Amino acid sequence: MSEITLQIDGREVAARKGMTVLEAAKKAGISIPTLCHHEKLEPYGGCRLCTVEVEERGRTKMVAACLYPVEKDLVVKTRTEKVDRIRKMILELLLAHAPDAFELQDLALEYGADRDRFEKESSFCLHCGLCVRYCAEVKKKNAIGFINCGTRREISFIPEIASKECWNCKECFPLCPTEALQAAFVLTKALVFPSPLSELKG
């Protein structure tokens, strides 16, 4: 275990090699906002809300803290003007999809994001991938996945698997920041699950 020190927001922080900037910051009690991050899951880097500014050999760049590995003498800044501007923009874009998502409200307040900046396109899914990854990585059932491409991308339960596995699990439900997942499940259930009646007859 090689300990290294880096600087986050002007404080010297000790971290183990292989940790991410997010983990190091958390250990030191510095909070970085996240949406798609979950302790049990592999880092995803999907929401970019954890964007921070790192300085390395005199150059600064914007990176996702949940993916960026710590390095010796790295200088990290979690609240610069540029970081705040990026987070505000991300929040405004996400709010166009899910204007009333609880997790977004506090963040929007903190970063001054205007929920009406962009025309509403309420899909309610933020594409954080928490449900998809939780089902694949923790439960290893793969009952839900992403389908389609680009603007048409959405989550979709796989009816063949979901009708067997989901009844007694539903562990992904509380993970969803917007409840789009629950809606997708109800829809799948209504459309394609075998109904109790047809099973009785069958």
Q: Does 167 bind another protein (CB under 8 A)?
A: no
Rounded distance, CA 62 to CA 60, Å? 7
Size of the site for another protein (CB under 8 A): 15
Task: Identify which of residues 62 and 147 has a Cβ nearer to another protein in the complex.
Answer: 147
54 Cβ neighbours under 8 A, 6+ residues apart: 21, 60, 61, 63, 68, 74, 75, 76, 77
Among 73, 106, 110, 160, binds another protein (CB under 8 A): 160
CB of 141 to another protein, least distance (A): 9
**Angle, CA of 173, 179 and 183, to the nearest 5°:** 90
Q: Does 13 bind another protein (CB under 8 A)?
A: no
Q: Does 89 bind another protein (CB under 8 A)?
A: no
Q: Does 132 bind another protein (CB under 8 A)?
A: yes
Among 25, 98, 144, 176, binds another protein (CB under 8 A): 144
Coil, strand or helix at 35: coil
Is-contact 5 21, C-beta < 8 A?
A: no
Q: Which residues bind another protein (CB under 8 A)?
A: 132, 135-136, 142-149, 156, 158, 160-161
